[in-house]
């Protein structure tokens, strides 16, 4: 197996652009991913659509340009196009029960438009079902609509902390198959040195991302945890690029400076610190934010942080890393991740999003709620929502639940 | 003759409608029983260890205790299975094989494992890339692990001959069921939609050899029955499950005959046999590799299901398709538009009816079915 060069802690001089606020830089990196895809399309090169946790290292090594429907769907939803796109998909026969990201993406693929976040239509699709099975049928539908190849990496769901040997063997064989298929699509040979470089970038991005996330542990936090949701775009779309590693390193430096200077991107009181469980309701960010800032509740833990910050040193470890996606791990591992970040980031409450779109995620939540209460002794409250379809969110219910959580946290504080 | 048929059908009905009595009988006979979640649990392995597999496909009713584990937007199949387990109704089981082929079954497996301590859960995560050699090998390995767990529960090993015999028993059951589906389609005047469902459903609760013996007898009688003209319409059903006597009674009232099906609980589960002339574990892995045209499974051919159903309609002489869409079942929902398109292109009428274990009032379904039957008879 290839040993990968891990030059995560690069000694290179800091890039000149460090003067630019990191968030601007991070946004530009994502823009470039989309622009590169458009440019490739223009040159007549095949452009792919990829599941967020498909091993991006493979396409990147082969120089294939790839876009990410989940990221696109989140962007469209955040810009209030979610309902329009979902309804378009429903008119095609897709039930409104289906994940909102899938509905938005299928609508876009079917020609619904989507000016909020346009991207070229796909010439091939990369499916990995580690985060959910919905992916499998979603990508089949895409491949069907456009009559294009689908490269499928199946990561069986795990019932234990450990990933079994037979899973590694099975997945490794699929990686090899995927490489062969993508060599054909790209017309290039898979270059091991290039692969090592790409993996090193991915590792460096992951480490920088984890480092940036780790600043939530300071009290008060030098950042608003909701920022991390926005920066997820880079982890999803550009984790194999050196620029995103550099931009995240710059972000971590900014947070470091904030700590030193007593500043924060959270501009409100920090009376309480919570974990926000799940994907936010993108169409309703302002509404989500409102009672939190009014009550001085900062989000200092988000599940995405550990879920996307995977670091590995060789192919087998990389495979293991892709087995540890948010919805592919057993309940105990899921709880351990969350309780880890709750403890590290000193939260006194958990706000659980029962995300109507995401069955695999929400399906553990009642039990997790009980465990958080018992193991962490913190207040836990849930609300109903949706990451992309605004019709599944009620502001009134959300506000009441946040109020409830606030009261629990206040009472616990007084009792301390 | 029709008396004999009626007698047999009544026996199936009893077995289908009283799973608890079946379970008690297995236990009384000194057998251990293993519950099997859908889909594609290798029940042959259970049989090979001398135990009885019983299908767990939910039951009519609404979740109460299961609400502590699932929000409301999960299918009633998984919710009602958990409900039964939480209510102690499954306590006589010595184990449960829990599959994970959809996004409800995945967290479902975790909820079952932690909530139901008294019943060992045997975890099953099938491969989706099941056709290449590495996929078959993966299936073989995980099936072998499952076999080992079953052997521990049974307290005995399954010999290669036990496995080979189990395969023969199940192949014979599948063959009889396939035959029955065909014959019932040819003789809706003798087998109602309700009875057809009971015959197929009872397989999940009975000892296979006993069920097959009854069924082979029934098939013989049906095969000997004279052909008669059916005054109603003929359709194919599609979906996860369609076993509500209330709903199927409406089919019977309206003379809508089910002449073939693409129902997971019925024909999808019996399409493929396991080879009898191979290493049994390899044969079972290959059998799973060959399963296709199922929304639960990755389709490397990308669009093989709609043509398959069109073909089923043509071969069975059906005039239309009724989809019984399980509420909150995203795999089925994701594949619905393609099916709709495929049937439209083939000029085959389609009706979609919402279905789940909680629905008690099928008034709306009746209205839709009436209108659909009218459309079909006018086209005929
Ligand atoms: S939100 Fe959930 S169901 Fe939708 S694509 Fe993501 S993981 Fe899958
Ligand atoms: S496939 Fe559908 S009906 Fe079956 S368990 Fe999954 S969601 Fe429920």
- CB of A103 closer than 8 Å to CB of A141: no
pLDDT for residue B380:
65
The average pLDDT across A382-386 equals: 97
Indicate yes or no: CB of B70 within 8 angstroms of CB of A363: yes
From first CA to last CA, the distance across chain A in angstroms is 53
Kindly report, as residue ranges, where domains of CATH 3.40.50.11900 are found in chain A: 268-416
CB-count exposure of residue B7 (10 Å: 0-12, 13-18, 19+): exposed
- CB of B237 closer than 8 Å to CB of B352: no
Q: Which residues in chain B touch residue A95, judged by CB atoms under 8 angstroms apart?
A: 325, 330, 333, 336
What separation in Å is there between the alpha carbon of A357 and the centre of ligand 1?
7
Q: By the CB < 8 Å criterion, does A146 face chain B? A: no
Taking only the tens place, the pLDDT of each residue in A191-238 is 999 999 999 999 999 999 999 999 999 999 999 999 999 999 999 999
Taking only the tens place, the pLDDT of each residue in B343-356 is 999 999 999 999 99
Query: Is the per-residue pLDDT at A246 higher than 90?
Result: yes
Q: Which residues in chain B touch residue A331, judged by CB atoms under 8 angstroms apart?
A: 107, 110, 113-114
Query: Is the per-residue pLDDT at B113 higher than 60?
Result: yes
Bridge partner residues of B355 (DSSP):
B326
What separation in Å is there between the alpha carbon of B104 and the centre of ligand 2?
6
Indicate yes or no: CB of B298 within 8 angstroms of CB of A152: yes
Instruction: Give the confidence band of A241 by pLDDT, cuts at 50, 70, 90.
Output: very high
pLDDT for residue B16:
97
Size (chain A), residues = 416
- The pLDDT mean for chain B works out to 97
Q: Which residues in chain B touch residue A143, judged by CB atoms under 8 angstroms apart?
A: 302
The average pLDDT across B358-380 equals: 94
Place of tokens 């792919």: A48
Query: Is the per-residue pLDDT at B55 higher than 90?
Result: yes
User: CA–CA separation, B76 vs B280, rounded Å?
Assistant: 34
Query: Is the per-residue pLDDT at A7 higher than 80?
Result: no
Q: Whose CA is nearest to atom 1 of ligand 1?
A: A358
Q: Which of residues 67-126 of B touch A (CB under 8 A)?
A: 68-71, 73-74, 100-104, 106-111, 113-115, 123, 125-126
Instruction: Give the confidence band of A6 by pLDDT, cuts at 50, 70, 90.
Output: very low
Ligand 2 atom closest to Cα of residue B108: 5
The average pLDDT across A165-172 equals: 97
pLDDT for residue B369:
98
Query: Is the per-residue pLDDT at A11 higher than 50?
Result: no
Query: Is the per-residue pLDDT at B80 higher than 90?
Result: yes
Chain centroid to Cα A159, Å, comes to 22
* Residue of B219, B175, B181 whose CA lies nearest to B200: B181
Kindly report, as residue ranges, where domains of CATH 3.40.50.11890 are found in chain A: 46-188
Range name among A96-105, B1-10, B232-241 with the lowest pLDDT average: B1-10
Among B71, B77, B262, residue to substitute to test ligand 2 (most atoms within 8 Å of Cβ):
B77
Strands, E assignment, B218-349: 233-239, 256-263, 320-326
pLDDT for residue A2:
38
Percent with pLDDT over 70 in chain B: 99
ipTM of the shown complex: 0.97
Query: Is the per-residue pLDDT at B79 higher than 90?
Result: yes
Query: Is the per-residue pLDDT at B291 higher than 80?
Result: yes
What separation in Å is there between the alpha carbon of B314 and the centre of ligand 1?
37
User: CA–CA separation, B347 vs A374, rounded Å?
Assistant: 58
Taking only the tens place, the pLDDT of each residue in B245-271 is 999 999 999 999 999 999 999 999 899
Give the residue on B whose Cα is nearest the Cα of A149. Answer: B302
Indicate yes or no: CB of B128 within 8 angstroms of CB of A152: yes
Indicate yes or no: CB of B70 within 8 angstroms of CB of A136: no
CATH architecture of A46-188: 3-Layer(aba) Sandwich (3.40)
Taking only the tens place, the pLDDT of each residue in A268-319 is 999 999 999 999 999 999 999 999 999 999 999 998 776 778 889 888 999 9
**CA of A193: how far to CAs of A187, A188, A190, in Å?**
18, 14, 9
A357 close to ligand 1 (CB < 6 Angstrom):
yes
Residues with Cβ < 8 Å from B262, sequence gap 6 or more?
B236, B237, B238, B239, B268, B293, B308, B309, B312
User: CA–CA separation, B247 vs B249, rounded Å?
Assistant: 5
- CB of B36 closer than 8 Å to CB of B54: yes
3-state secondary structure of B99: strand
* Residue of B122, B104, B110, B106 whose CA lies nearest to B46: B122
pLDDT for residue B8:
98
- CB of A364 closer than 8 Å to CB of A336: no
Q: Name all domains of chain B by residue range, CATH numbers in brackets.
A: 30-161 (3.40.50.11890)
- CB of A342 closer than 8 Å to CB of A351: no
Indicate yes or no: CB of B101 within 8 angstroms of CB of A133: yes
Query: A268-416 — its CATH code?
Result: 3.40.50.11900
Tokens of B170: 């199940």
- The pLDDT mean for chain A works out to 93
| Interface mutation vs chain B, best among A54, A88, A91, A95, most B CBs within 10 Å | A95
Instruction: Give the confidence band of A415 by pLDDT, cuts at 50, 70, 90.
Output: confident
Pocket of ligand 2 (CB under 6 A): B 75, 77-78, 102, 104-105, 240, 296, 326, 329, 331-332
Taking only the tens place, the pLDDT of each residue in A32-85 is 999 999 999 999 999 999 999 999 999 999 999 999 999 999 999 999 999 999
CB-count exposure of residue B28 (10 Å: 0-12, 13-18, 19+): exposed
Taking only the tens place, the pLDDT of each residue in B126-179 is 999 999 999 999 999 999 999 999 999 999 999 999 999 999 999 999 999 999
């Amino acid at each position: 197996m290839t040993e990968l060069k891990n030059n995560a802690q690069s000694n290179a001089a800091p890039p000149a652009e460090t003067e630019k606020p990191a968030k601007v830089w991070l946004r530009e990196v994502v823009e470039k991913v989309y622009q590169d895809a458009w440019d490739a399309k223009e040159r007549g090169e095949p452009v792919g659509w990829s599941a967020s946790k498909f091993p991006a290292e493979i396409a990147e090594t082969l120089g294939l340009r790839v876009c990410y429907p989940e990221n696109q769907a989140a962007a469209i939803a955040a810009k209030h196009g979610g309902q329009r796109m979902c309804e378009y998909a429903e008119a095609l026969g897709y039930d409104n029960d289906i994940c909102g990201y899938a509905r938005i993406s299928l609508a876009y693929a079917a020609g619904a438009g989507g000016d909020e976040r346009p991207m070229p239509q796909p010439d091939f699709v990369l499916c990995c079902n580690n985060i959910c099975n919905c992916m499998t049928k979603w990508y089949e539908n895409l491949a069907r609509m456009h009559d294009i190849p689908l490269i499928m990496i199946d990561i069986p769901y795990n019932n234990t902390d450990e990933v079994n040997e037979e899973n590694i063997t099975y997945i490794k064989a699929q990686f090899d198959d995927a490489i062969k298929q993508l060599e054909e699509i790209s017309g290039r040979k898979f270059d091991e040195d290039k692969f090592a470089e790409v993996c090193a970038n991915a590792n460096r991005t992951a480490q920088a991302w984890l480092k940036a996330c780790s600043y939530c542990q300071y009290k008060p936090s030098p950042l608003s945890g909701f920022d991390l949701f926005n920066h997820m775009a880079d982890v999803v779309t550009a984790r194999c690029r050196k620029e995103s590693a550099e931009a995240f390193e710059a972000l971590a430096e900014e947070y470091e400076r904030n700590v030193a200077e007593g500043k924060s991107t959270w501009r409100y009181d920090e009376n309480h610190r919570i974990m926000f469980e799940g994907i936010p309701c993108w169409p309703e960010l302002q509404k989500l934010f409102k009672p939190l800032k009014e009550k001085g509740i900062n989000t200092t833990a988000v599940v995405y942080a550990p879920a996307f910050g995977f670091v590995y040193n060789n192919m087998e470890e990389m495979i293991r890393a892709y087995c540890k996606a948010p919805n592919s791990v057993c309940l105990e591992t899921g709880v351990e991740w969350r309780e880890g970040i709750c403890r590290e980031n000193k939260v006194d409450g958990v706000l659980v999003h029962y995300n109507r779109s995401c069955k695999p995620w929400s399906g553990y939540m009642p039990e997790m709620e009980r465990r958080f209460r018992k193991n962490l002794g913190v207040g836990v409250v849930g609300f109903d929502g949706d990451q992309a379809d605004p019709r599944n969110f009620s502001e009134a219910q959300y506000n009441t639940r946040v109020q409830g959580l606030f009261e629990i946290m206040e009472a616990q504080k007084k009792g301390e | 003759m029709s008396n004999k048929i009626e007698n047999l059908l009544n026996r199936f009905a009893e077995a289908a409608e009283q799973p608890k009595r079946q379970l008690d009988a297995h236990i009384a006979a000194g057998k251990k029983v293993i519950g099997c979640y859908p889909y594609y649990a290798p029940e042959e392995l259970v049989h090979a260890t001398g135990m009885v597999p019983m299908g767990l496909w939910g039951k009519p009713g609404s979740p109460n205790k299961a609400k502590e584990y699932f929000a409301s937007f999960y299918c009633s199949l998984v919710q009602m299975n958990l409900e039964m387990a939480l209510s102690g109704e499954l306590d006589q089981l010595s184990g449960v094989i829990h599959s994970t082929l959809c996004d409800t079954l995945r967290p479902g497996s975790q909820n079952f494992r932690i909530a139901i301590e008294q019943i060992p859960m045997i975890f099953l995560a099938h491969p989706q890339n099941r056709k290449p050699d590495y996929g078959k090998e993966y299936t073989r390995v995980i099936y072998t692990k499952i076999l080992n767990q079953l052997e521990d529960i049974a307290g005995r090993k399954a010999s290669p001959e036990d496995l080979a015999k189990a395969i023969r028993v199940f192949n014979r059951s599948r063959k009889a069921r396939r035959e029955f589906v065909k014959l019932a389609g040819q003789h809706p005047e003798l087998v109602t939609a309700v009875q057809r469902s009971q015959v197929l459903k009872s397989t999940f609760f009975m000892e296979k050899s006993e069920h097959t013996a009854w069924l082979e007898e029934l098939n013989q009688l049906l095969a000997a029955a004279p052909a008669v003209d059916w005054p109603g319409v003929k359709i194919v059903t599609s979906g996860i499950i369609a076993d509500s006597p209330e709903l199927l009674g409406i089919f019977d009232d309206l003379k809508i005959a089910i002449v073939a099906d693409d129902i997971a609980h019925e024909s999808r589960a019996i399409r493929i046999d396991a080879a009898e002339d191979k290493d049994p574990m390899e044969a079972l892995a290959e059998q799973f590799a060959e399963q296709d045209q199922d929304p639960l499974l990755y389709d490397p051919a990308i669009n093989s299901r709609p043509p398959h159903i069109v073909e089923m309609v043509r071969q069975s002489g059906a005039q239309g398709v009724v989809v019984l869409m399980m509420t909150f079942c995203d795999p089925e929902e994701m594949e619905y538009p393609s099916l709709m398109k495929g049937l439209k292109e083939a000029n085959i009428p389609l009706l979609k009816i919402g279905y789940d274990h909680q629905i008690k009032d099928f008034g709306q379904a009746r209205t839709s079915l009436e209108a659909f039957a009218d459309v079909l008879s006018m086209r005929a």
